Structure 1
Amino acid sequence: MTSSETNPGPSTSTSSRRVRANGDGTVYQRKDGRWEAAGYVLAVGDTRKRVRVYGSTRKDALTKLTEKIATSNRGVPAPSAQGSVAAFLTYWLETVAVHRLRENTHTRYTACTRLYLIPGLGRKKLAKLTAKDVRTWLDQLRVTCQCCARGLDAAREQPQCCATGTCCRRWLSPLTLAYVHSVLKSALEHAVREEEIPRNVARNVRMGTPRPRRFEPLTTEEARALLTATDGHRLSALFELALRTGLRKGELLGLRWEDLDLTGGTASIRRTLQRTNSAGLTALPTKTHSSERRIALPTECLHSLEQHRERQAHERGAAGAAWKASGYVFTRPDGSPIEGATLTRHFNALLRRATLRRIRFHDLRHSAATLLLEQGVELVVIKELLGHAHIGVTATVYAHVRLRLQRDAIDLLSNALRNPVEPATRSENRDEQHLRAAPVR
């Protein structure tokens, strides 16, 4: 046996190590103990650049590098701090936000980026973007007529705004401005996490708290009139359920018969029915984790749901082979799910026939919460019924108090000030006193 057979030497140990293929990048351990992986990926302008990622272990560093190379192989350029804000926003929407947002939310983010963010800040370098740039741009956007900025007036057959020399002053609402600001903050926050920029400059810009959209919920008399108007309507059970429980439109349309326990008088809210660009009308998870809940059903709703089930059975028999067994509680006459826009049209027609004032369907949810508040129901109970994530949301949205409740509170205080409490009568034992408190409603 030769010495080479007994001692393989360093050449054998080197050959046993796995060799990374060309294009897979390199990985090595730094002097500080961290692992660093480097490789070439696609950059803006059909060029390639070398990127470096770090991890506490060799596997972590390789995983991060593999993700960047895989994204590059799909033709998506990697963002660069030296690149523009527009390039990073495009990368963020196509590779990050698309996997973390609902499809409809992603569509709104994309529209917001296309209409406002890229035209306003797209040409600036990501690394050189400052809080002053963001604030100046938002202040300018606040007083920019959208007819002029987006060319809406020029596309009209008869111009009405800038082309006639008279600006219509079609400005963005404070809520829209706050939404644009939040989208920019979300994008830059991801740039910070990927170590593209050191800090999120959009967080240093104060927009103020926009006033919530004012809504006029139904009064008790109007709610009674609406319930009376629903008699005989094929969706009367839906309208009554919306007014008495405050369920969202998508939650109502997403109810299945398996979600209802008419014997126990409960309903399980597990999904919402919405239309998306890719899948059409489809069932999605509830808006938040707290929105998935179990609620108690009023006795009146139990009766109306029983009648609705009988009506649906007659419609199934009349449709015959054309019946579409979707399993939903509220369907079209052929059993297929109901579109949200279709329900809105039915609701508006119902309001016209009942000669009630025009409100949104979502205002039924606000009406249910407001009427419960007027009856003295605690906020925590209303929060559970509506499916809010935090009680602060319930308190903020329904902080308004009707004039009648304000009058009741003022009258209660006036009565207390006008009728002072009689002095406590002393018992024969001076150590004991009978305290008489003012009545509290």
Structure 2
Amino acid sequence: MKGHIRERSPGKWAIVLDVGEPDPKTGKKKRKWHSFTGTKRQAQAECARLIAEITTGRYVEPTKQTVGEFLTEWLAFVKPTVSPKTHERYMEICEKNLGPLIGDVILSKLKTDRIDAAFTKALTEGRRAAGKPYAPRTVHHMRRVLIKALSQAVTWERISRNPAAATTPPKVERTKMLAYDAEQTAELIAEFRETRMFIPTMLAVMCGLRRGEIAALRWDDVELGHTRRQLAVRQSAEQTKDGVRYKTPKSGKARTVALSATMAAELKAHRVRQSEEQLRIGLRPDGDSFVVAQVDGSPLQPRSLTHEWSRLLEKTNLPRIRFHDLRHTHATQMLSAGVHPKVASERLGHSTVGITLDLYSHVMPGMQADAAEQVDAALQAAISASREPK
């Protein structure tokens, strides 16, 4: 395999590669031409790299397809294999974030330094009219999606390697987790008791349910007997542009959440009120009815819970937190009360206990101090007992 470079103009080079045997009829050599911009030494290095790729079978024929065109093709390819919500997020990142930054770059010419420069621009300048920089977390998501998309480009042999895999990820600071303490939780319950957000709030703060799980909960999932008080989380409502769809919970499997006597009593009272309300308009609720519903029995959209939560919270003196932070409140209070992390993990629906320990590590120092004191007390008692005359 041979190759050489030719200077076309200052800083502009043609890389000529001899491939295969000469044509037996004409004697002409089969050649591949590549354009290159840079110094002579850089052009020579690029020529050597291309020769090595051809020799090892990793050479990919360059095309004129742009990154933007490829991302459009990739979005259509992955649509059947991901959830509608995930596809919406991929599309938003590709069209609104990645497209304006690198969409016009020829795919075969996309290099790691070009991507790093685009991410730096996003972090420092942004692309919006106001010039507001993107948050590091947004750029982190952009990088993950680009790596995934370009991995498919490698599989399809559009490029020989994934240039996004070697990019430098932005430093993402963990969002401070907010939660109410016991006194604030009691105040919250009192403030919301006479509103339609009372039961959704109780399910979040007393059971740790996610917003989508609350919106998907049906009465068939709830047991309020004397011997067994529990609910089963079997579905989660996902908000998409096309409406609400019901899917398996985030962990991918159903879970059972035990109910306290207080929570069971509130659900019993809620069911009576809801039945009376629906019977007045001619509806006969059954086990398939939603626990949290509109007056006419139709399910609530997940975003409606968020909007109503924010609206009602503004009327109180409580700190402003997200509805999802009520789940954090439940987790924090469980761990602070000494509940084993494994039990808390199962109750919250985490796929592993490691997720629970990582998310709520801020609660652990106090628990470790209590554990140290308990071990010390037991040891001191044993030492004292050994010193007593027998």
Do the structures match in fold with TM over 0.5? yes
TM-score (norm 2): 0.74
Q: Give the corresponding residue for 2:237.
A: 273
1:297–1:105 distance in 2 versus 1, CA, 3 Å? same
Counterpart code for 1:89: L
- 5+ residue gaps, structure 2, are 1-60
Q: Give the corresponding residue for 1:87.
A: 69
Matches for 1:9-158 after TM superposition, within 5 Å: 82-94=64-76, 96-144=77-125, 146=126, 149-151=127-129, 153=130
Q: Give the corresponding residue for 2:335.
A: 373
Q: CA deviation at 1:423?
A: 8.2
Structure 1 residues 130-168: Cα deviation after superposition (integer angstroms, max 9, x where no partner): 222222221222101x4xx333x4xxxxxxxxxxxxxxx
- 5+ residue gaps, structure 1, are 1-78, 154-168, 430-441
Q: Give the corresponding residue for 1:71.
A: none
Structure 1 residues 8-32: Cα deviation after superposition (integer angstroms, max 9, x where no partner): xxxxxxxxxxxxxxxxxxxxxxxxx
Q: Give the corresponding residue for 1:216.
A: 178
Q: CA deviation at 1:394?
A: 1.8
Q: Give the corresponding residue for 2:320.
A: 358
Matches for 1:164-313 after TM superposition, within 5 Å: 170-263=132-225, 264-278=228-242, 280-290=243-253, 292-313=254-275
Question: Structure 2: how far apart are the matches of 1:277 and 1:83?
Answer: 30
Q: CA deviation at 1:378?
A: 1.9
Q: CA deviation at 1:170?
A: 2.1
Identity %: 30
Q: Give the corresponding residue for 2:11.
A: none
Q: CA deviation at 1:410?
A: 11
Q: CA deviation at 1:402?
A: 8.1
Counterpart code for 1:288: S
Question: Structure 2: how far apart are the matches of 1:318 and 1:181?
Answer: 54
SS of the equivalent of 2:165 reads helix
1:80–1:367 distance in 2 versus 1, CA, 3 Å? farther
Q: Residues 275 and 285 of structure 2 are in contact (CA less than 8 Å); yes or no, is this contact kept in structure 1?
A: no
Q: CA deviation at 1:235?
A: 3.9
Q: How large is the Cα RMSD of the aligned pairs?
A: 3.2
Structure 1 residues 262-306: Cα deviation after superposition (integer angstroms, max 9, x where no partner): 22212111111233222x23323322314x222222221111111
Q: Residues 112 and 164 of structure 2 are in contact (CA less than 8 Å); yes or no, is this contact kept in structure 1?
A: yes
User: How many pairs align?
Assistant: 325
Q: Residues 261 and 267 of structure 1 are in contact (CA less than 8 Å); yes or no, is this contact kept in structure 2?
A: yes
Any runs of at least 4 consecutive aligned residues in structure 1 with deviations exceeding 3 A, and if so which?
Answer: 79-82, 321-326, 406-413, 419-429
Q: Residues 239 and 303 of structure 2 are in contact (CA less than 8 Å); yes or no, is this contact kept in structure 1?
A: no
Question: Structure 2: how far apart are the matches of 1:410 and 1:388?
Answer: 24
Question: Structure 2: how far apart are the matches of 1:114 and 1:80?
Answer: 24
Q: Residues 237 and 301 of structure 1 are in contact (CA less than 8 Å); yes or no, is this contact kept in structure 2?
A: no
1:411–1:341 distance in 2 versus 1, CA, 3 Å? same
Q: 2:281 aligns with which of 303, 309, 319?
A: 319
Q: Give the corresponding residue for 1:165.
A: none
1:119–1:349 distance in 2 versus 1, CA, 3 Å? closer
Question: Structure 2: how far apart are the matches of 1:423 and 1:287?
Answer: 52
Q: CA deviation at 1:106?
A: 1.1
1:303–1:406 distance in 2 versus 1, CA, 3 Å? closer
Q: CA deviation at 1:188?
A: 0.9
TM-score (norm 1): 0.66
Structure 2 residue 331 is matched with structure 1 residue 344 = no
Question: Structure 2: how far apart are the matches of 1:391 and 1:80?
Answer: 47
Question: Structure 2: how far apart are the matches of 1:132 and 1:345?
Answer: 42
